[in-house]
Copies of this chain bind each other. A is one copy, B any other.
């Protein structure tokens, strides 16, 4: 199978490495808008060939959209439009079934799924979210084994053709990902709580301490492992995160509001010398031990 990956960053690049390594792809084609990244991807050997967006869609059996979700939401309907044209050209053979598949690997799903809900080629699209990553980005950040043992969400699979779903499942099997099925709206609520808010709390923490650093040059001298752990995600890339927070706006705002409420509860208890309440809040938070080992 020929797999074409659009966007050779951390996720696209890491998929390229493992899909070839595991034998799922006979050939991996890549599209990369940024010339420096494209050259790096070839030099590192992430893909067999870098080609144009047009050529990639034409040549690939399975197209993977691995660009930030703001660009993905414009790209997905366009690719399905091209599938319409290609199927009209008789590329689908005698059986009358069109064989190309497109998936995305973005962190929000509702907007994408809605954007093509009525598209005649909707069944060629499978909405997926392989939940893996690091705070780094670009082809240099790609690595083998990134997806190994992690969860992959497949959304609204009933809207995709069973054959397309089976192909995509076997692709994620090759990456050794545990597959979880849910609706795109459920996905976006869940990720707001267990991923998106973590990034915002890290960004806010970084901003807080960086602001203090303007007057206290040595404020970071005592930064410990605990600080590094809570602030690590603040290194995350704006190109990726701006559209995620936009597209998941309503869920994210709801989580931020609950979060600010909890933060204000701490503030009030500490300000009021109310040690019993501070203790109550901490012991309640400690219940996270049950979940995070």
Contacts and interface: CB of A to CB of B under 8 A. Distances in A.
8 contacts: A150-B224, A151-B224, A180-B222, A190-B222, A198-B226, A242-B282, A253-B270, A260-B267
A221 B270 CA distance: 33
A243 B243 CA distance: 41
A258 B211 contact: yes
Nearest to A221: B180
Interface class of chain A by DSSP: helix
Contact of A221 (B151, B227, B249): B151
B212 A193 contact: yes
A262 B231 contact: no
Interface centre among A220, A249, A262 (most CB of B within 10 A): A262
A208 B193 CA distance: 8
Given A223-B292, A235-B292, A252-B270, A208 B197 contact: yes
Given A190-B222, A256-B267, A286 B195 contact: no
A273 B246 contact: yes
A222 B202 contact: no
Nearest to A286: B235
Contact of A227 (B194, B238, B256, B260): B194
A100 interface: no
Given A194-B224, A238-B283, A245 B278 contact: yes
A151 B266 contact: no
A153 to B, nearest CB: 7
Copies of this chain in the oligomer: 2
A230 B227 contact: no
Interface in A248-293: 249, 252-253, 255-260, 262-267, 270-271, 273, 275, 278-279, 281-289, 291-292
Contacts of A238: 278-279, 282-283, 286
B258 A212 contact: yes
A200 interface: yes
Interface string A183-226: 00001011101110111111111111111100010111111101
A141 to B, nearest CB: 13
Contacts of A233: 226, 229-230
Interface string A160-192: 000000000000000000001000000101110
Interface in A40-79: none
A260 B263 CA distance: 8
A278 B243 CA distance: 9
A115 interface: no
